[in-house]
Each structure stands twice: as structure tokens, then as C-alpha cells.
Amino acid sequence: MEATPHSVNGDIAKMIRSAPRRRPIFPSVTRTTPMVAVVLAGLALGACQPVIRTHGFMPSKDEIAQLQPGVQTREDVRAILGAPATTGTFETDTWYYIQRRTSTIAFYSADVTEQDVLGLRFGADGRLADVLRFGLDDARQVSYVDRVTPTSGNELTVLEQFVGNIGRFNSDPSATNPGNPSGMGRPR
């Protein structure tokens, strides 16, 4: 019987169908791969959730409402609100209570989302003179300078330091002194 193109194709198709199927080398890996991908995607999305931190202390509105300028002394205010976060640098008669809320996403730097400052100014007689409130809009942005103060003296390269140390070490243990029992690193 002579082979026709259709019979050859049919024979090849039968051979392909009857050939044993290859099993995966790691069948459990192929089943768990989609599950692992879903779990990793969930963890990655969870890492994008911002971390909110609150720093400092702000008295409650009820405590602030108890303050009466001209009536209360420093001791009275400390009994109501507690110790201040800081006092004025140049005007020690001003107390500050500061609270700041920051938001950090992943590895980025923190952004200030809220800032409340309560300033209490006391008069010369020690009584509360004024109650001041400041928010994030009142804050000033300070730009820091990244300069480095140079040190005086020689600035040696790594090669100069290495070559300069050759011959400065003594391997003779008998050549020790009380301050340097190993004898190593002693300048000549």
C-alpha cells in the first residue's frame, strides 16, 4: 500500500496521541506557583501602605479650655497640661507643646501630614499672658547645608597610607613596652 499525504499525516497524529505524556519534573511547584504569586503580590501591595507615626504631645481641647490668661501661674498650667515639650530659646517665658504626624510609604522619607503647636506665653509676674496656636501652614521649611568642614593636615591616599606604614611595625615580641604589650604598631 502506498502512503498518501493524508495517511502519513494521520500516522503522525496517531503517534503523537499515543506517545507518553511527559510529567513535570516538580509537579508540586507548578501547582503552587500561582498561589505563591498571589501571596507575593498581596505582600507587595501591603508594603505600599503608609506608616503613620505621631510624635510629641498635644493636650486635649478640654484641658486647653481650662486655661485662663491672667489668672493661672506656671505651676497651675503645669498641673493642668503637664510639662511642656520645649521652652523658647530666647524667651524662656514661652512654653511649647508640639505634636506632629508623619506618613512614610515604603523606603521614601517621611512627609509631615499634620503639625500642631500650642504656645503659652507668661508675663513678668509669672501668670499666663497669652495662648497661641500654630498649624502646619505656619511652619517654615528650613534648608540644611550639606557642607563638610575639612580637617587640617595631610590628606593621604590609600596607597600613600599603605606605603607610609611599611616598616612601622615590629614583629619582635621582646621589643614591647608597658603601654603596648604586643609591640605592634609602634612608630620608630
If one compares 13 and 92, the residue with the highest pLDDT of the two is 92
Question: Mind listing the pLDDT tens digit for each residue in 61-114?
Answer: 999 999 999 999 999 999 999 999 999 888 789 999 999 999 998 788 888 999
Determine the pLDDT at residue 54.
92
The total of other beta-carbon atoms located within 10 Å of residue 77's CB is 22
Determine the pLDDT at residue 102.
93
Give CA separation, 187 vs 166, 172, 179, in Å.
Answer: 11, 14, 13
Instruction: Cell numbers for 108, please give them.
Output: 521614601
Task: Evaluate whether 115 touches 101 at the Cβ level (below 8 Å).
Answer: yes
Determine the pLDDT at residue 94.
93
Nearest to 117 by CA among 90, 96, 140, 95: 96
pTM: 0.54
